[in-house]
Amino acid sequence: MSGMYEDSIRVDTVADAFAIEGKLLFWEPYGNGHINDTFLLTYELPLGEKKRYILQRLNLVVFKRPDELMKNVVSVTEYLRQMIIRQGGDPDRETLRVIKTREGGNYFQDRCGNCFRVFSFIEDSICLQQVENKDDFYACGAAFGNFQRMLADYPVADLYETIPDFHNTPSRFRDFQKAVEADLLGRAAAVQAEIDFALEREKETSELTDLIKEGKLPLRVTHNDTKLDNILFDKESKKALCIIDLDTVMPGSSLYDFGDSIRFGASTGAEDEKDLSKVELDLSLFEAFTRGYLDGSGGSLTQKEIEMLPMGAKLMTYECGIRFLADYLQGDVYFKIQREDHNLDRARTQFKLVAEMEEKWAQMNDIVRKYK
Ligand code: ADP
Ligand code: GN1
Ligand code: MG
């Protein structure tokens, strides 16, 4: 198949800009990411063998500097590749490989300014939207913990900050307040209960940023977008295979990675579940991830970081909720939506989870204390 995509992008013409061997047989939209436009490309090699690739159009509303972003992605994946080789792993399956353009660039920019990149497709892998059991989630925690450990000595000064203040919750809170005040689409009145829920928790927004400022929590190279579908599992062994979506690898806190995984993976419902009675915090999943994350990071977390894990979970969930709600109020300009009120539904699940965490706060802390 060849053809047009929205905004008249010719996927086949774009694909032609990359140094890919063979003939493009077909392409299709792929995955469930909220940010970039992702396509699966299938090529045929001269002897008839098929090879697949991921083509992505970068979201330039979200990422203002595609050049810097791609430098990060290329150097982080090359760094990981060397480390995986040294550890006897399979670098073609355990980290992403960026395919250069025919001119040797990290990405391709078309005449309209759209930016595209290509990765090798990691075959025989699966991507989960919901965990099937505790073991999967333990593996997920171990993979994200290990990812952080592998990047522990990465030269931080070489990393660009692709989205400034990405997990700066007080700054996210101010953006949220501005969205409520502007109320561009007149949507605020109907969601006053959700707005109030968010406003009532302002005091807590600086719990992590204050500790970072005071030097009580360390900055590390973190992934910053650790939801379950940013990890690929091996189809056969079900082992966590590869961490993907490296656009936000930046200096951050281990609590951001821990918290973002919990908000998505330890919920009994989907991120956009409309029936909130289905959305609860599963404490056994919380514990499985905690164990996995601590094992994966190999004892590198400080006592303070471990103590703050529940707060990481709560604040990342809250922050995601106010980001969804702000986007709803602004007319859904950031996160892709598939239906009306999609961002509102997403905000509601996050707030339900925050309420759940408040109820189960003592148990969450008891669990974490066991591993201190
Ligand atoms: P977004 O930033 O929009 O979330 P991602 O980089 O996470 O985009 O990619 C979207 C989806 O595409 C992933 O959740 C995964 O299912 C799939 N995907 C991305 N890269 C690869 C790859 N190299 N191999 C296999 N699947 C991939
Ligand atoms: C986005 O790219 P994706 O879909 O993996 C977002 C995350 C949010 C998440 C909510 C760059 O992640 O911060 O937590 O949606 N990524 C960016 O599902 O904003
Ligand atoms: Mg993603």
- Please work out whether the CB of residue 227 comes within 6 Å of at least one atom of ligand 2: yes
Q: CA 112 to CA 272: how far, in whole Å?
A: 33
Torsion of CA 167, 149, 245, 54, to 10 degrees: 170
Residue 4 has pLDDT above 50, yes or no: no
CB 292 within 8 A of CB 137: yes
The residue whose CA has the least distance to atom 1 of ligand 2 is 34
Residue 7 has pLDDT above 60, yes or no: no
The mean per-residue pLDDT over the stretch 134-150 comes to: 96
Residue 316 has a pLDDT of: 99
Give the distance (Å) from ligand 3 centre to CA of residue 93.
17
Partnered with residue 26 across adjacent β-strands are 42
Residue 6 has a pLDDT of: 53
∠301-302-307 over CA atoms, to 5°? 100
Residue 302 has a pLDDT of: 97
Query: If we measure between CA atoms, which residue out of 243, 316, 306 comes closest to residue 281?
Result: 316
Give the distance (Å) from ligand 1 centre to CA of residue 223.
14
- Please work out whether the CB of residue 118 comes within 6 Å of at least one atom of ligand 1: no
- Please work out whether the CB of residue 54 comes within 6 Å of at least one atom of ligand 1: yes
The confidence band for 238, taking pLDDT boundaries of 50, 70 and 90, is confident
Q: CA 74 to CA 68: how far, in whole Å?
A: 10
pLDDT in tens, 273-286: 999 999 999 999 99
Please list all protein residues whose beta carbon sits less than 5 angstroms from ligand 3, which is an ion.
Answer: 33, 230, 245
pLDDT in tens, 324-365: 999 999 999 999 999 999 999 999 999 999 999 999 999 999
Residue 1 has a pLDDT of: 41
The mean per-residue pLDDT over the stretch 247-269 comes to: 98
- Please work out whether the CB of residue 127 comes within 6 Å of at least one atom of ligand 1: yes
The residue whose CA has the least distance to atom 7 of ligand 2 is 225
Ligand nearest to the CA of 31: 1
SS3 99: strand
The mean per-residue pLDDT over the stretch 225-229 comes to: 96
- Please work out whether the CB of residue 35 comes within 6 Å of at least one atom of ligand 1: yes
Residue 3 has pLDDT above 50, yes or no: no
- Please work out whether the CB of residue 232 comes within 6 Å of at least one atom of ligand 2: no
Residue 10 has a pLDDT of: 86
Residue 266 has pLDDT above 80, yes or no: yes
Residue 2 has pLDDT above 50, yes or no: no
Which of 34, 163, 273 to mutate for ligand 2's pocket (most ligand atoms within 8 Å of CB)?
34
Give the distance (Å) from ligand 2 centre to CA of residue 225.
6
CB 329 within 8 A of CB 183: yes
The confidence band for 5, taking pLDDT boundaries of 50, 70 and 90, is low
Amino acid at 246: L
Residue 231 has pLDDT above 70, yes or no: yes
The residue whose CA has the least distance to atom 13 of ligand 1 is 31
Ligand nearest to the CA of 244: 1
- Of 5-14, 35-44, 62-71, the range with the lowest mean pLDDT is 5-14
C-alpha count within 13 angstroms, C-beta hemisphere, residue 147: 33
pLDDT in tens, 108-140: 999 999 999 999 999 999 999 999 899 999 999
Q: Is 307 exposed, middle or buried (0-12, 13-18, 19+ CB in 10 A)?
A: middle
- What is the overall mean pLDDT for the chain? 96
